Amino acid sequence: MTRRASVLFVTAALILSLATPVATAHGNHHGGHRLYEPGVALDLIGEIKGAPYEIRFPADWNGTLVLYAHGYRDAFDHPLDTTDRSIPENNVADSAPGGDAFEDALLAQGYALAGSLYASDGWAVRDGIGDTRRLVRYVQTKVAKPDTTIQWGFSMGSVVTMEMAEHNRAVDGFIAACAVGAGATDAWNVLLTLTLAYDAALGWPTEWGTPTDVPEFLDFEEFVFPVLLGQVSDPANLPLFEFVRLVSDLPPGTFYTNWLFTDMYFATEARAELERRAGGPVTSNPKHVYAVEPDEAAYLASLGVDVDGLLAEMNSTHTVAAMQQRQYLRRNADYTGRLRAPMLTLHTTVDGLVPVVHESAYRETVEAAGYEDLLYQTYVLADGHCAFSPEQLVTVIVAMEAWLDTGVMPVAAQFPDALGFDPDFEPGPWPQPRRGKSYGMSG
């Protein structure tokens, strides 16, 4: 866990001859000479091309491998390290979300688990895809041959998972949780709303660069967090922050203790890391008009907010990322919707970091490609990012196994409201013009 894990609230952790397992058993009940031996639990740790991994097999394996792609990890502590791929001592991979406790629960039900860190931190989608592919290849060829392989990715790991679902044939089914379903380009474009709203309402400090282009090594903890904390602690600023919240369509409740700080981290330090990778600013908004609902405008006016003036200032700023940056985001990653295997998505009904409307955008992409028979989406009645219970996570694995076994798409009854699922929930529409459609550009 990084030094800012309490601020990020994101879920953590996903040829052959380069792997270095430190604990092994021998044999394989599926045939061939592999490391797993039936009746003997197996725990492996090591690295493949600079990516630490963990592989765990129960003694009584049910034949299913569950492969984990983790979420965003803070890269600020070593931003210049692009060549040294050695493993820091505290970089220990998990093979399932939640670490040992949930891993043990899945192992007790017979599942084999595998997961890796990526060879770099930050917006490491490209590394994540390569490292996850190498890991599944290693497991399948050196450890044991699964009857079924299911990959699940959380938060940024969902981008790895959704991209691999369109290209990879080594995985039978995919689960994308708290998913960036709109793809990278649209996700980062939506985050621009927050920066422009904050600039209009409270002013963007010069130390932070500009709302559309942040400094290369902007540190959230040093430069951004103290300013935000001071401003949000002043009651006089409440009306302005309410404008920021409403125009950004962020949920109330924990906005002032969670989403404001979490989202501003990604709008500043995390965006700076992405811009280093992409070679410059990554956000665009040429066709979008920022607005609030009439009842929201009336509420803000009652607080003394000049709603029309702030919206006019926001709408006066138009930016288009250069082709190099647009292409980087498109590759890392936007989706075609052409699925090669079943995809099950899981989202909380309220998520202030990756809003649930990402699910609408993803369905639109998949339906436009004609692959809707390979997509099922389900929702958990909760407020939080990746805020799922162990029972809910096991439920989606079991549902995916049944789908793969029978060829029949899941139904709502498999996700009972007694476990916190909301079978009647429908996310709203995506709030902005989408890349390649209303923007009149392809990347």
pLDDT beyond 50 at 369 = yes
Which among 311, 329, 347 is the end of a domain? 329
- Does 312 reside within a domain? yes
Q: What's the pLDDT at 4?
A: 34
User: What confidence tens digit (pLDDT) does each residue in 301-330 have?
Assistant: 999 999 999 999 999 999 999 999 999 999
Q: What's the pLDDT at 433?
A: 86
pLDDT beyond 90 at 115 = yes
Q: What's the pLDDT at 77?
A: 52
Q: What's the pLDDT at 222?
A: 96
pLDDT beyond 80 at 5 = no
Residue 258 near residue 9, CB atoms below 8 Å: yes
Return phi, psi of residue 154, to 5°. -120, 135
User: What confidence tens digit (pLDDT) does each residue in 204-251 have?
Assistant: 999 999 999 999 999 999 999 999 999 999 999 999 999 999 999 999
Q: Which residues contact 204 (CB under 8 A, 6 or more apart)?
A: 195, 198, 210, 211
**In which band, very low, low, confident or very high, does the pLDDT at 439 lie, cut at 50, 70 and 90?**
very low
Give the number of residues written for the chain: 443
C-alpha to C-alpha distance for 145 and 65, rounded to whole angstroms: 9
pLDDT beyond 80 at 23 = no
User: What confidence tens digit (pLDDT) does each residue in 195-205 have?
Assistant: 999 999 999 99
39, 140: one domain: yes
Name the domain count of the chain.
2
315, 194: one domain: yes
**In which band, very low, low, confident or very high, does the pLDDT at 92 lie, cut at 50, 70 and 90?**
confident
Which among 97, 120, 146 is the end of a domain? 146
CA end-to-end span of the chain, whole Å?
33
Domain of 19, in residue numbers: 15-146
112, 245: one domain: no
The DSSP string of 146-203 is: -SEEEEEEETHHHHHHHHHTTT-SS-SEEEEES--TT-HHHHHHHHHHHHHHHHHHH-
312, 212: one domain: yes
pLDDT beyond 90 at 37 = yes
- Report the amino acid identity of residue 332: N
Q: What's the pLDDT at 48?
A: 95
Tokens at 250, concatenated:
């962020």
Which among 329, 352, 380 is the end of a domain? 329
Q: What's the pLDDT at 437?
A: 45
Residue 383 near residue 254, CB atoms below 8 Å: yes
99, 204: one domain: no
pLDDT beyond 60 at 52 = yes
- Does 72 reside within a domain? yes
Q: What's the pLDDT at 90?
A: 57
Kindly state the average pLDDT of the residues 156-166.
Answer: 98
Kindly state the average pLDDT of the residues 436-442.
Answer: 37
Kindly state the average pLDDT of the residues 137-156.
Answer: 97
C-alpha to C-alpha distance for 149 and 136, rounded to whole angstroms: 9
**In which band, very low, low, confident or very high, does the pLDDT at 371 lie, cut at 50, 70 and 90?**
very high
pLDDT beyond 90 at 140 = yes
User: What confidence tens digit (pLDDT) does each residue in 395-407 have?
Assistant: 999 999 999 999 9
The closest of 401, 386, 278, 381 to 331, measured between CA atoms, is 278
pLDDT beyond 80 at 80 = no
C-alpha to C-alpha distance for 271 and 191, rounded to whole angstroms: 10
Peptide bond into 322 cis (omega under 30): no
108, 240: one domain: no
124, 257: one domain: no
97, 195: one domain: no
Q: Can you name the residues that pair with 377 across neighbouring β-strands? A: 345
**In which band, very low, low, confident or very high, does the pLDDT at 34 lie, cut at 50, 70 and 90?**
confident
The whole-chain average pLDDT of the chain stands at: 89
C-alpha to C-alpha distance for 43 and 40, rounded to whole angstroms: 10
Q: What's the pLDDT at 86?
A: 44
250, 316: one domain: yes
Of 280 and 440, which is predicted with more confidence?
A: 280
215, 107: one domain: no
Residue 48 near residue 132, CB atoms below 8 Å: no
- Does 64 reside within a domain? yes
The closest of 282, 364, 360, 353 to 320, measured between CA atoms, is 282
Q: What's the pLDDT at 435?
A: 65
pLDDT beyond 50 at 122 = yes
Tokens at 376, concatenated:
């099922």
Q: Which of 30-34, 38-42, 174-178, 180-184 has the lowest mean pLDDT?
A: 30-34
- Does 158 reside within a domain? no
201, 319: one domain: yes
- Does 376 reside within a domain? no
- Does 101 reside within a domain? yes
Q: What's the pLDDT at 168?
A: 86
Q: What percent of the chain has pLDDT over 90?
A: 84
